[in-house]
Chains A and B, each alone.
Chain A
């Protein structure tokens, strides 16, 4: 009797297996029967919960595209940022990438292009999008003469500050490094931690170092060090590292910044605990349109271009660069349709994204014709007048070197290494390439 029972149990488990696999089989058969239907798999990282506006814009574009292109449907998968990266990683190993997806520029793209995972999109750009992008943005997705990504976002980094807190203490917003020093000192004297920084995600600290390097040594010195026509031992770069530590030593940044996530630092800025915060334009909605942030706070926020250092530096030179862009999988079975969709998406994205989701797109938009908050208009003007945009160092570098850079940034900010050692770490990592 006991035996019978076990057998029943096992066979029911087996039946369940067959039921489950059977289910998926029949589904596939269903797909195959509608053979005329072409399906484009599209993976993005704006989940409905956290990025409702992005999510909606994407869905609208897809709906319009499907309406205009009979017989083509877009199958969507949405993941959160980190999970998206990990999943793309796993999928690429098995050669199972979605037909269209999002990629980051330069260093992130490199292994995928090296492994022939992404399709070159030069034809799409030449035919459909020849004059669509802000100059310099597609270059970040180019390797060996071909472009592999269609940029969707463009971010530049500015120093946001709390006007109310500055006024209350009678401190002038800093336009030079010397004024920044004074402001830091005065806020500290008033018992206020001056600058919010979450350097656990060390790309935040990297932006400070990059700006100091830009102001001290000019727009090219860091790029040259990374592309190996220069060196991290360049006096200007060592000086930038030294200035970074100078800021740390004078107590410019909030307590324990090396253990804080960017998000925690941001909250300190947004709750009026720290008056300054260096961040990119992706946070603009928080300072302008985001209804869940108190109006009073949004009204008191201003931005400054990064200060000059000892009279040097061009305040119209920025750190920033395109964020995510679209790729088309080289192995895609519907590659032509995928390219067509990607091109359609980029064209539709620009205005929709800036007006509805507050994203500054990498495609040209006519700011004057759109109804945008003042700060957007100002920033878009800054962008138009930008003399240079230096791409985020950790994005420029290959993944291995980026890791060394980020670790060294933490060590530099933590006073664990000297500016000279900081330079040496980079030189060693880059020379291994």
Chain B
């Protein structure tokens, strides 16, 4: 490609990049406006005055607890999902058993269920084992519903792992567990980081399950905190904007961290490959 080619390539890439970064700028401006400016003005116009009180309102609304709950529920669910899905991917692609195809099929079907179909049966199930208003019901629900997609993403990578690894490991007298935890898991770091990011986004932004299964203030999460500003006839959009900004910040930081892992992991595994 010539110089001009590169110029246009970069130009295109940067324009696309601008489109992708604008929503953050918009969201920040949004969080400093009142309803009238939000609805009647241009989305990228500066607010007539910077309404920092939106943030104060959000803070007074008890966002600290919500924030803490979001963090630990998200993290615990991610760990469980990624660990269980990796183990399942290992079992399905590397271990030899007759039913593996069927089990894989079950996971694929699990991908297809619309959550609103599952909501009402799930509620009565949790109610019958006394797990309503218990944050653990949220954690296992997130885990179960993210397992299929996590597994599917992992599968594509597990299929391409060289079989020599197991052979070498078994010959060396290495146990299966050691092989999985010490060799396979580290080798899949880039894709693990990818699935962590995806799970993080899903769990962090989820609200249908939390809203339905949790009723105590002390267990509610950030997305439910947003609902705090939606009224019967009136909604405080500025405060919602502020909540959205507060809730997107940690996820950006975490995202940048894991997104670097996607690259770091690769360089180490590529050596082995």
Contacts and interface: CB of A to CB of B under 8 A. Distances in A.
Interface hub of B34, B236, B239 (most chain A Cβ within 10 A): B236
A21 B134 contact: yes
A46 B228 CA distance: 8
B229 interface: yes
A273 interface: yes
A196 to B, nearest CB: 10
A49 B180 CA distance: 49
Nearest to A9: B83
B233 A270 contact: no
B40 interface: yes
Nearest to B212: A90
Interface in A272-297: 273, 282-283, 286, 292-293
Contacts of B173: none
A9 B82 CA distance: 14
B235 to A, nearest CB: 6
Nearest to B183: A2
Nearest to B119: A90
Interface stretch (A78-86, A387-395, A400-408): A78-86
A77 interface: yes
A267 interface: yes
Contact of A270 (B36, B134, B135, B229): B36
B39 A264 contact: yes
Interface string A60-100: 00000000000000000111111100110111011010000
A324 interface: yes
A377 B145 CA distance: 54
B211 A271 contact: no
Question: Majority SS of interface residues in chain B?
Answer: helix
Contacts of B41: 271
B43 to A, nearest CB: 12
B211 A83 contact: yes
B136 interface: yes
A5 interface: yes
B143 to A, nearest CB: 11
Contact of B232 (A17, A91, A264, A282): A282
A51 B127 contact: no
Interface string A18-57: 0011001000000000000000000001111111001000
B11 interface: no
Given A3-B175, A5-B181, A86-B211, A81 B120 contact: no
B175 A2 contact: yes
B13 interface: no
B243 to A, nearest CB: 9
A268 interface: yes
Nearest to B121: A93
B227 A93 contact: no
A240 to B, nearest CB: 26
A304 interface: no
Contacts of B235: 50, 263
A94 B231 contact: no
B217 to A, nearest CB: 8
B25 interface: no
A1 interface: yes
A370 interface: no
Contacts of A50: 228-231, 234-236, 239
Given A49-B239, A86-B211, A94 B124 contact: yes
Interface hub of A3, A20, A50 (most chain B Cβ within 10 A): A50
Contact of A47 (B39, B181, B231): B231
A268 B36 CA distance: 8
Nearest to B40: A271
Nearest to B139: A20
Given A49-B61, A83-B211, A93-B123, A2 B182 contact: yes
Q: Which 7 A-B pairs have the closest CB atoms?
A: A267-B39, A50-B231, A2-B178, A80-B230, A271-B40, A49-B228, A49-B229
Given A78-B228, A263-B39, A286-B234, 18 more contacts: A3-B175, A5-B181, A6-B181, A21-B136, A24-B134, A46-B231, A46-B232, A50-B229, A50-B239, A77-B216, A80-B227, A81-B230, A83-B230, A90-B120, A90-B212, A96-B127, A264-B39, A273-B40
